Structure 1
Protein backbone atom coordinates (compact mmCIF):
# COMPACT_ATOMS: atom_id res chain seq x y z
CA UNK A 1 0.00 0.00 0.00
CA UNK A 2 2.89 2.31 0.77
CA UNK A 3 4.33 1.84 -2.71
CA UNK A 4 0.96 2.79 -4.21
CA UNK A 5 0.92 5.99 -2.16
CA UNK A 6 4.48 6.81 -3.22
CA UNK A 7 3.57 6.17 -6.85
CA UNK A 8 0.54 8.46 -6.68
CA UNK A 9 2.56 11.14 -4.90
CA UNK A 10 5.31 11.00 -7.53
CA UNK A 11 2.68 11.17 -10.27
CA UNK A 12 1.12 14.28 -8.73
CA UNK A 13 4.54 15.89 -8.32
CA UNK A 14 5.50 15.05 -11.89
CA UNK A 15 2.22 16.37 -13.28
CA UNK A 16 2.59 19.60 -11.29
CA UNK A 17 6.15 20.12 -12.50
CA UNK A 18 5.13 19.33 -16.08
CA UNK A 19 2.23 21.81 -15.90
CA UNK A 20 4.47 24.60 -14.57
CA UNK A 21 7.06 23.95 -17.28
CA UNK A 22 4.30 23.92 -19.86
CA UNK A 23 3.15 27.38 -18.78
CA UNK A 24 6.68 28.77 -18.81
CA UNK A 25 7.83 27.16 -22.06
CA UNK A 26 4.88 27.51 -24.43
CA UNK A 27 3.16 30.37 -26.16
CA UNK A 28 0.23 30.66 -28.53
CA UNK A 29 0.55 30.47 -32.30
CA UNK A 30 3.51 28.06 -32.37
CA UNK A 31 2.06 24.57 -32.63
CA UNK A 32 5.23 22.92 -33.98
CA UNK A 33 7.48 24.47 -31.36
CA UNK A 34 5.03 23.76 -28.56
CA UNK A 35 4.84 20.09 -29.52
CA UNK A 36 8.61 19.78 -29.12
CA UNK A 37 8.46 21.62 -25.80
CA UNK A 38 5.73 19.33 -24.45
CA UNK A 39 7.92 16.29 -25.13
CA UNK A 40 10.95 18.00 -23.57
CA UNK A 41 8.91 19.11 -20.53
CA UNK A 42 7.71 15.52 -20.00
CA UNK A 43 11.30 14.24 -19.95
CA UNK A 44 12.35 17.02 -17.58
CA UNK A 45 9.45 16.25 -15.22
CA UNK A 46 10.42 12.56 -15.10
CA UNK A 47 14.02 13.47 -14.22
CA UNK A 48 13.00 16.04 -11.61
CA UNK A 49 10.72 13.56 -9.85
CA UNK A 50 13.41 10.86 -9.84
CA UNK A 51 16.15 10.28 -7.29
CA UNK A 52 19.11 11.18 -9.53
CA UNK A 53 20.39 14.35 -7.84
CA UNK A 54 22.86 15.40 -10.54
CA UNK A 55 20.16 14.82 -13.13
CA UNK A 56 17.85 17.20 -11.27
CA UNK A 57 20.43 19.98 -11.39
CA UNK A 58 20.94 19.47 -15.11
CA UNK A 59 17.18 19.34 -15.72
CA UNK A 60 16.76 22.66 -13.89
CA UNK A 61 19.44 24.23 -16.08
CA UNK A 62 17.76 22.90 -19.24
CA UNK A 63 14.36 24.14 -18.05
CA UNK A 64 15.81 27.61 -17.36
CA UNK A 65 17.44 27.78 -20.80
CA UNK A 66 14.25 26.71 -22.59
CA UNK A 67 12.29 29.34 -20.66
CA UNK A 68 14.76 32.03 -21.72
CA UNK A 69 14.50 30.90 -25.35
CA UNK A 70 10.69 31.08 -25.11
CA UNK A 71 10.75 34.71 -24.01
CA UNK A 72 13.12 35.74 -26.81
CA UNK A 73 11.45 37.05 -30.00
CA UNK A 74 12.83 34.34 -32.28
CA UNK A 75 11.62 32.77 -35.51
CA UNK A 76 10.02 29.35 -35.02
CA UNK A 77 12.71 27.55 -37.01
CA UNK A 78 15.55 29.14 -35.05
CA UNK A 79 13.75 28.42 -31.78
CA UNK A 80 13.43 24.74 -32.68
CA UNK A 81 17.16 24.54 -33.48
CA UNK A 82 18.02 26.17 -30.16
CA UNK A 83 15.73 23.77 -28.27
CA UNK A 84 17.30 20.77 -30.00
CA UNK A 85 20.76 22.11 -29.15
CA UNK A 86 19.78 22.59 -25.50
CA UNK A 87 18.31 19.07 -25.36
CA UNK A 88 21.49 17.58 -26.87
CA UNK A 89 23.63 19.55 -24.41
CA UNK A 90 21.50 18.29 -21.53
CA UNK A 91 21.86 14.72 -22.76
CA UNK A 92 25.65 15.06 -22.97
CA UNK A 93 25.79 16.49 -19.43
CA UNK A 94 23.60 13.67 -18.12
CA UNK A 95 25.84 11.08 -19.71
CA UNK A 96 29.00 12.72 -18.38
CA UNK A 97 27.69 13.40 -14.86
CA UNK A 98 28.80 10.82 -12.26
CA UNK A 99 26.25 8.75 -10.39
CA UNK A 100 25.45 10.17 -6.97
CA UNK A 101 24.90 8.20 -3.81
CA UNK A 102 21.48 9.65 -2.96
CA UNK A 103 19.26 6.94 -1.53
CA UNK A 104 16.13 5.97 -3.37
CA UNK A 105 12.86 7.02 -1.79
CA UNK A 106 11.12 3.87 -2.95
CA UNK A 107 10.50 1.08 -0.50
CA UNK A 108 10.14 -2.65 -0.89
CA UNK A 109 12.63 -5.00 -2.45
CA UNK A 110 14.25 -2.61 -4.90
CA UNK A 111 18.04 -2.54 -4.74
CA UNK A 112 20.83 -1.01 -6.80
CA UNK A 113 23.65 -3.18 -8.09
CA UNK A 114 26.44 -2.45 -10.57
CA UNK A 115 25.30 -2.85 -14.15
CA UNK A 116 28.34 -4.99 -14.97
CA UNK A 117 27.26 -7.57 -12.38
CA UNK A 118 23.76 -7.82 -13.85
CA UNK A 119 25.04 -8.01 -17.41
CA UNK A 120 27.40 -10.88 -16.56
CA UNK A 121 24.54 -13.12 -15.44
CA UNK A 122 23.84 -15.95 -17.92
CA UNK A 123 20.62 -15.21 -19.79
CA UNK A 124 18.13 -17.99 -20.51
CA UNK A 125 15.11 -15.77 -21.21
CA UNK A 126 14.69 -12.08 -21.90
CA UNK A 127 11.73 -9.83 -22.56
CA UNK A 128 10.60 -6.26 -22.02
CA UNK A 129 7.60 -4.13 -21.18
CA UNK A 130 6.43 -3.34 -24.71
CA UNK A 131 4.59 -0.25 -23.47
CA UNK A 132 7.65 1.00 -21.58
CA UNK A 133 10.95 0.59 -23.47
CA UNK A 134 12.96 1.40 -20.32
CA UNK A 135 11.85 -1.73 -18.45
CA UNK A 136 13.41 -5.12 -19.26
CA UNK A 137 13.18 -8.59 -17.72
CA UNK A 138 15.84 -11.32 -17.63
CA UNK A 139 15.70 -14.87 -16.26
CA UNK A 140 18.47 -17.29 -15.36
CA UNK A 141 18.25 -20.31 -13.03
CA UNK A 142 20.97 -18.96 -10.76
CA UNK A 143 19.81 -15.35 -10.45
CA UNK A 144 16.06 -15.80 -10.85
CA UNK A 145 14.00 -13.04 -12.45
CA UNK A 146 15.83 -9.73 -12.80
CA UNK A 147 13.81 -6.56 -13.48
CA UNK A 148 15.67 -3.56 -14.81
CA UNK A 149 13.92 -0.19 -14.74
CA UNK A 150 14.84 3.40 -15.38
CA UNK A 151 16.39 5.85 -17.82
CA UNK A 152 19.04 7.82 -15.98
CA UNK A 153 19.47 5.81 -12.81
CA UNK A 154 18.49 2.19 -13.13
CA UNK A 155 16.80 0.03 -10.55
CA UNK A 156 17.46 -3.70 -10.37
CA UNK A 157 14.90 -5.96 -8.69
CA UNK A 158 15.45 -9.67 -8.17
CA UNK A 159 12.62 -12.18 -7.76
CA UNK A 160 13.71 -15.67 -6.65
CA UNK A 161 12.18 -18.49 -8.66
CA UNK A 162 12.99 -21.37 -6.27
CA UNK A 163 10.29 -20.32 -3.77
CA UNK A 164 7.76 -18.77 -6.15
CA UNK A 165 5.63 -19.75 -9.11
CA UNK A 166 4.47 -17.53 -11.96
CA UNK A 167 0.90 -16.57 -12.81
CA UNK A 168 -0.26 -14.95 -16.05
CA UNK A 169 -2.87 -12.18 -16.06
CA UNK A 170 -4.53 -10.64 -19.11
CA UNK A 171 -6.89 -7.70 -19.39
CA UNK A 172 -9.23 -7.14 -22.31
CA UNK A 173 -6.92 -4.71 -24.07
CA UNK A 174 -3.93 -6.95 -23.43
CA UNK A 175 -5.72 -9.91 -25.02
CA UNK A 176 -6.33 -7.81 -28.13
CA UNK A 177 -2.68 -6.75 -28.27
CA UNK A 178 -1.27 -10.18 -27.36
CA UNK A 179 0.29 -8.91 -24.13
CA UNK A 180 -0.01 -10.05 -20.51
CA UNK A 181 1.31 -9.46 -16.99
CA UNK A 182 3.15 -12.05 -14.94
CA UNK A 183 3.04 -12.02 -11.13
CA UNK A 184 4.72 -14.37 -8.66
CA UNK A 185 3.11 -16.35 -5.86
CA UNK A 186 4.91 -17.70 -2.80
CA UNK A 187 4.90 -21.50 -2.81
CA UNK A 188 4.49 -21.75 0.95
CA UNK A 189 2.01 -19.01 1.84
CA UNK A 190 0.08 -18.76 -1.42
CA UNK A 191 0.35 -14.97 -1.25
CA UNK A 192 1.65 -12.78 -4.04
CA UNK A 193 5.40 -12.31 -3.74
CA UNK A 194 5.93 -8.56 -3.41
CA UNK A 195 4.33 -6.03 -5.71
CA UNK A 196 6.69 -6.35 -8.66
CA UNK A 197 5.31 -7.88 -11.84
CA UNK A 198 6.41 -8.37 -15.41
CA UNK A 199 4.12 -6.01 -17.29
CA UNK A 200 2.95 -5.99 -20.91
CA UNK A 201 5.17 -8.79 -22.18
CA UNK A 202 4.14 -10.95 -25.12
CA UNK A 203 1.84 -13.82 -24.15
CA UNK A 204 3.97 -16.32 -26.06
CA UNK A 205 7.07 -15.14 -24.21
CA UNK A 206 5.26 -15.49 -20.86
CA UNK A 207 4.31 -19.08 -21.69
CA UNK A 208 7.94 -19.82 -22.54
CA UNK A 209 9.01 -18.42 -19.17
CA UNK A 210 6.46 -20.54 -17.30
CA UNK A 211 7.68 -23.63 -19.15
CA UNK A 212 11.27 -22.87 -18.15
CA UNK A 213 10.28 -22.34 -14.52
Structure 2
Protein backbone atom coordinates (compact mmCIF):
# COMPACT_ATOMS: atom_id res chain seq x y z
CA UNK A 1 0.00 0.00 0.00
CA UNK A 2 2.15 2.86 -1.29
CA UNK A 3 1.57 6.35 0.10
CA UNK A 4 0.81 7.67 -3.38
CA UNK A 5 -1.58 4.87 -4.39
CA UNK A 6 -5.33 5.16 -4.73
CA UNK A 7 -5.74 2.29 -2.28
CA UNK A 8 -3.83 4.21 0.39
CA UNK A 9 -5.99 7.28 -0.30
CA UNK A 10 -9.15 5.25 0.31
CA UNK A 11 -7.62 3.65 3.38
CA UNK A 12 -6.68 7.05 4.80
CA UNK A 13 -10.16 8.48 4.22
CA UNK A 14 -11.77 5.54 6.03
CA UNK A 15 -9.36 5.88 8.96
CA UNK A 16 -9.87 9.64 9.26
CA UNK A 17 -13.66 9.43 9.11
CA UNK A 18 -13.68 6.64 11.69
CA UNK A 19 -11.25 8.45 13.98
CA UNK A 20 -13.04 11.81 13.83
CA UNK A 21 -16.40 10.21 14.63
CA UNK A 22 -15.21 8.35 17.71
CA UNK A 23 -15.61 10.31 20.93
CA UNK A 24 -13.85 8.12 23.48
CA UNK A 25 -10.07 8.40 23.65
CA UNK A 26 -9.61 4.67 24.28
CA UNK A 27 -11.40 3.66 21.10
CA UNK A 28 -9.55 6.31 19.13
CA UNK A 29 -6.29 4.73 20.23
CA UNK A 30 -7.55 1.33 19.15
CA UNK A 31 -8.46 2.83 15.78
CA UNK A 32 -4.88 4.03 15.32
CA UNK A 33 -3.41 0.69 16.41
CA UNK A 34 -5.67 -1.49 14.27
CA UNK A 35 -5.34 0.72 11.19
CA UNK A 36 -1.56 0.75 11.62
CA UNK A 37 -1.44 -3.04 11.81
CA UNK A 38 -3.60 -3.30 8.69
CA UNK A 39 -1.31 -0.85 6.89
CA UNK A 40 1.85 -2.73 7.87
CA UNK A 41 0.24 -6.05 6.94
CA UNK A 42 -0.25 -4.74 3.41
CA UNK A 43 3.55 -4.57 3.17
CA UNK A 44 4.85 -7.40 5.34
CA UNK A 45 2.45 -9.33 7.55
CA UNK A 46 4.98 -11.80 8.97
CA UNK A 47 6.75 -9.21 11.14
CA UNK A 48 3.68 -7.76 12.82
CA UNK A 49 4.13 -9.95 15.94
CA UNK A 50 7.74 -8.77 16.20
CA UNK A 51 6.74 -5.09 16.08
CA UNK A 52 4.02 -5.63 18.67
CA UNK A 53 6.35 -7.52 21.04
CA UNK A 54 9.08 -4.88 20.69
CA UNK A 55 6.53 -2.19 21.47
CA UNK A 56 5.51 -3.94 24.67
CA UNK A 57 9.11 -4.65 25.73
CA UNK A 58 10.20 -1.04 25.29
CA UNK A 59 7.10 0.16 27.10
CA UNK A 60 8.05 -2.01 30.07
CA UNK A 61 11.70 -0.96 29.92
CA UNK A 62 10.67 2.68 30.07
CA UNK A 63 8.61 2.01 33.18
CA UNK A 64 11.47 0.08 34.78
CA UNK A 65 13.93 2.91 34.14
CA UNK A 66 11.55 5.40 35.74
CA UNK A 67 10.77 2.98 38.58
CA UNK A 68 14.45 2.88 39.52
CA UNK A 69 14.85 6.65 39.70
CA UNK A 70 16.13 8.14 42.94
CA UNK A 71 13.09 10.37 43.42
CA UNK A 72 10.69 7.46 42.94
CA UNK A 73 12.55 5.22 45.37
CA UNK A 74 12.76 8.00 47.94
CA UNK A 75 9.03 8.64 47.54
CA UNK A 76 8.28 4.98 48.27
CA UNK A 77 10.39 5.04 51.40
CA UNK A 78 8.81 8.27 52.50
CA UNK A 79 5.28 6.95 52.03
CA UNK A 80 6.15 3.95 54.16
CA UNK A 81 7.68 6.12 56.88
CA UNK A 82 10.99 4.28 56.47
CA UNK A 83 13.15 7.07 55.10
CA UNK A 84 16.24 7.02 57.31
CA UNK A 85 19.38 8.92 56.40
CA UNK A 86 21.06 5.66 55.47
CA UNK A 87 18.13 4.71 53.23
CA UNK A 88 18.47 7.97 51.34
CA UNK A 89 22.22 7.50 50.93
CA UNK A 90 21.71 3.98 49.62
CA UNK A 91 19.06 5.13 47.17
CA UNK A 92 21.23 7.93 45.84
CA UNK A 93 24.15 5.53 45.45
CA UNK A 94 22.14 2.83 43.66
CA UNK A 95 19.65 4.65 41.46
CA UNK A 96 21.99 5.62 38.63
CA UNK A 97 23.66 2.18 38.19
CA UNK A 98 20.29 0.43 38.20
CA UNK A 99 18.78 2.76 35.64
CA UNK A 100 21.92 2.62 33.52
CA UNK A 101 21.83 -1.19 33.48
CA UNK A 102 18.23 -1.20 32.29
CA UNK A 103 19.01 1.42 29.65
CA UNK A 104 22.02 -0.60 28.46
CA UNK A 105 19.85 -3.72 28.29
CA UNK A 106 17.26 -1.89 26.19
CA UNK A 107 19.85 -0.45 23.81
CA UNK A 108 21.60 -3.81 23.40
CA UNK A 109 18.30 -5.56 22.75
CA UNK A 110 17.19 -3.08 20.09
CA UNK A 111 20.56 -2.71 18.38
CA UNK A 112 21.28 -6.43 18.59
CA UNK A 113 18.01 -7.31 16.90
CA UNK A 114 18.68 -4.74 14.18
CA UNK A 115 22.15 -6.20 13.55
CA UNK A 116 20.74 -9.72 13.34
CA UNK A 117 18.45 -8.70 10.51
CA UNK A 118 20.99 -6.45 8.78
CA UNK A 119 23.87 -8.92 8.78
CA UNK A 120 22.19 -12.32 8.82
CA UNK A 121 23.42 -13.14 5.30
CA UNK A 122 27.07 -12.36 6.08
CA UNK A 123 26.90 -14.27 9.36
CA UNK A 124 25.33 -17.34 7.76
CA UNK A 125 27.99 -17.43 5.03
CA UNK A 126 30.73 -17.25 7.65
CA UNK A 127 29.19 -20.10 9.64
CA UNK A 128 28.33 -22.34 6.71
CA UNK A 129 31.73 -22.11 5.03
CA UNK A 130 33.13 -24.45 7.70
CA UNK A 131 30.83 -27.28 6.63
CA UNK A 132 31.58 -28.73 3.18
CA UNK A 133 28.21 -30.44 2.92
CA UNK A 134 26.47 -27.10 3.37
CA UNK A 135 28.74 -24.94 1.26
CA UNK A 136 25.96 -24.16 -1.22
CA UNK A 137 23.38 -23.58 1.47
CA UNK A 138 22.17 -20.11 2.28
CA UNK A 139 20.30 -18.49 5.07
CA UNK A 140 18.85 -15.02 5.06
CA UNK A 141 16.37 -13.21 7.24
CA UNK A 142 14.20 -10.72 5.46
CA UNK A 143 14.63 -7.25 6.92
CA UNK A 144 11.38 -5.97 8.48
CA UNK A 145 10.20 -2.84 6.76
CA UNK A 146 10.99 0.27 8.80
CA UNK A 147 12.98 -1.65 11.43
CA UNK A 148 15.76 0.98 11.51
CA UNK A 149 13.38 3.86 12.25
CA UNK A 150 11.50 1.69 14.72
CA UNK A 151 14.68 0.67 16.54
CA UNK A 152 16.27 4.10 16.83
CA UNK A 153 12.98 5.58 17.99
CA UNK A 154 12.88 2.96 20.75
CA UNK A 155 16.40 3.88 21.81
CA UNK A 156 15.61 7.61 21.76
CA UNK A 157 12.59 6.96 23.97
CA UNK A 158 14.57 4.97 26.53
CA UNK A 159 17.29 7.63 26.66
CA UNK A 160 14.66 10.34 27.16
CA UNK A 161 13.19 8.44 30.10
CA UNK A 162 16.66 7.88 31.52
CA UNK A 163 17.26 11.63 31.36
CA UNK A 164 14.12 12.31 33.36
CA UNK A 165 11.29 12.59 30.83
CA UNK A 166 8.12 10.94 32.24
CA UNK A 167 7.58 7.48 30.70
CA UNK A 168 4.46 6.30 28.96
CA UNK A 169 2.08 4.89 31.57
CA UNK A 170 -0.60 3.80 29.11
CA UNK A 171 0.20 0.87 26.81
CA UNK A 172 -2.48 1.81 24.29
CA UNK A 173 -1.12 5.33 23.98
CA UNK A 174 2.45 4.10 23.64
CA UNK A 175 1.43 1.51 21.03
CA UNK A 176 -0.41 4.22 19.09
CA UNK A 177 2.73 6.33 19.14
CA UNK A 178 5.02 3.47 18.09
CA UNK A 179 2.81 1.88 15.44
CA UNK A 180 1.37 5.12 14.00
CA UNK A 181 1.24 4.14 10.32
CA UNK A 182 2.17 7.45 8.58
CA UNK A 183 5.67 7.22 10.09
CA UNK A 184 5.98 3.49 10.75
CA UNK A 185 7.97 2.45 7.69
CA UNK A 186 9.80 5.62 6.65
CA UNK A 187 10.03 7.87 9.69
CA UNK A 188 10.69 10.48 10.80
CA UNK A 189 11.84 9.54 14.29
CA UNK A 190 9.58 11.33 16.78
CA UNK A 191 9.73 11.81 20.55
CA UNK A 192 6.96 10.40 22.71
CA UNK A 193 6.77 13.38 25.06
CA UNK A 194 6.36 15.73 22.10
CA UNK A 195 3.44 13.86 20.54
CA UNK A 196 1.64 11.97 23.32
CA UNK A 197 -0.56 14.92 24.31
CA UNK A 198 -2.32 14.69 20.94
CA UNK A 199 -3.66 11.25 21.80
CA UNK A 200 -5.52 12.73 24.77
CA UNK A 201 -7.61 15.07 22.63
CA UNK A 202 -11.14 13.81 22.21
CA UNK A 203 -12.38 16.64 20.02
CA UNK A 204 -11.10 18.65 17.10
CA UNK A 205 -13.14 21.77 17.66
CA UNK A 206 -12.03 23.85 14.71
CA UNK A 207 -12.74 22.95 11.11
CA UNK A 208 -9.59 24.77 10.01
CA UNK A 209 -7.51 22.20 11.94
CA UNK A 210 -9.00 19.40 9.88
CA UNK A 211 -8.58 21.40 6.69
CA UNK A 212 -4.96 22.13 7.51
CA UNK A 213 -4.35 18.46 8.29
CA UNK A 214 -5.79 17.36 4.95
CA UNK A 215 -3.71 20.00 3.18
CA UNK A 216 -0.52 18.73 4.82
CA UNK A 217 -1.39 15.15 3.87
CA UNK A 218 -2.03 16.16 0.26
CA UNK A 219 1.19 18.18 0.06
CA UNK A 220 3.17 15.28 1.49
CA UNK A 221 1.65 12.88 -1.05
CA UNK A 222 2.63 15.20 -3.90
CA UNK A 223 6.22 15.41 -2.62
CA UNK A 224 6.46 11.62 -2.32
CA UNK A 225 5.00 11.23 -5.79
Which bracket does the TM-score occupy, shorter chain normalised?
under 0.3
Between Structure 1 and Structure 2, the one with more helix by share is 2
Which structure has more relative contact order (CA 8 Å, sep 6+)? It is 2
TM-score, scaled relative to structure 2 = 0.25
Between Structure 1 and Structure 2, the one with more strand by share is 1
TM-score, scaled relative to structure 1 = 0.26
